[in-house]
Amino acid sequence: MDKKFCRYSATGNTFLIFDNRDDSLSDLGQQVYETWCRDHQVDGLLFVEKPKGPRTDFHMRYLNADGGEVEMCGNGARSILHFVARRLQLPVEGDVYSFSTMNSIYKGKDTELFPILMTEIKDWGLLDVSDLLPTSLSYYLNTGVPHAIFEVEDLDNFDVLENGKRIREDKRFIKGANANFFSIIKENEIKMRTFERGVEGETLSCGTGATAVALALGKLRGWGPEVKVKVPGGNLIISFNKDFTEVYLSGPVDFLGESLLNAL
């Protein structure tokens, strides 16, 4: 099959991105997609598909490393925005693209840090997660996907794999949850590590997780209007207004190369 794909990294989250507006890659099966992720050691697959409504420029479909489709990926959304704007060069009025995901519509700017307006902020504190890890701050929040958040003192030596797996699989989360662990550097600046469902391990970055932690600190400790989140793969910036109605996720995006699908 003579079809190209591009490899991307967004603060360490890695993806293969495909132009699938002809739907030729839509129904290959979870095992095929999982094999692609494993063979190329990426966190997920992104597909640019035909718009699903008159208000959007394209549809984004995201598959985790296990080949299963999930609701949203913040760094994936920023990467696909780069791909659409810089590689496909889809026409758009101004520098703002509108695109749909599984459950919502997002807007992103074709600027240096490819900010995404996060439109799925819900379930603030819906679940009590304080019993899952003794800590001074724990919180649950859905920022497109569900997140359990915990403050830890010694993040560098914290066992993310053991604790993350246990938390991710807890039965109170109907579809599982990402587990985010953070420590404070100073006000409005933290470092964070994440155990991600679907990848079933620690990832170098998690955009929706960084958003969830920043908003939790904004709500519970009055932080803002901008929080810097240092993840193992780089730095993310979460900016938001006082009532959390405008929340942006920003950070670097890197195009790593292009190959043919038959090379998979």
Which residues are designated catalytic? 73, 206
The structure tokens listed for 187 are 């006000």
Interacting residues of 72 by C-beta distance below 8 A, sequence separation 6+: 62, 101, 102, 103, 104, 120, 143, 144, 145, 208
Judging by beta carbons within 10 Å of its beta carbon (0-12, 13-18, 19+), is residue 149 exposed, middle or buried? buried
Judging by beta carbons within 10 Å of its beta carbon (0-12, 13-18, 19+), is residue 26 exposed, middle or buried? exposed
C-alpha 119 chain-centroid distance: 13
Count of alpha carbons within 13 Å of 171, Cβ hemisphere only?
0
For residues 197 and 190, the answer to whether their CB atoms sit within 8 Å is no
Q: Are strands 254-260 and 44-49 parallel, antiparallel or unpaired?
A: unpaired
CA distance linking residue 97 with residue 94, whole number of Å? 8
The structure tokens listed for 94 are 């101004």
The structure tokens listed for 106 are 């997002």
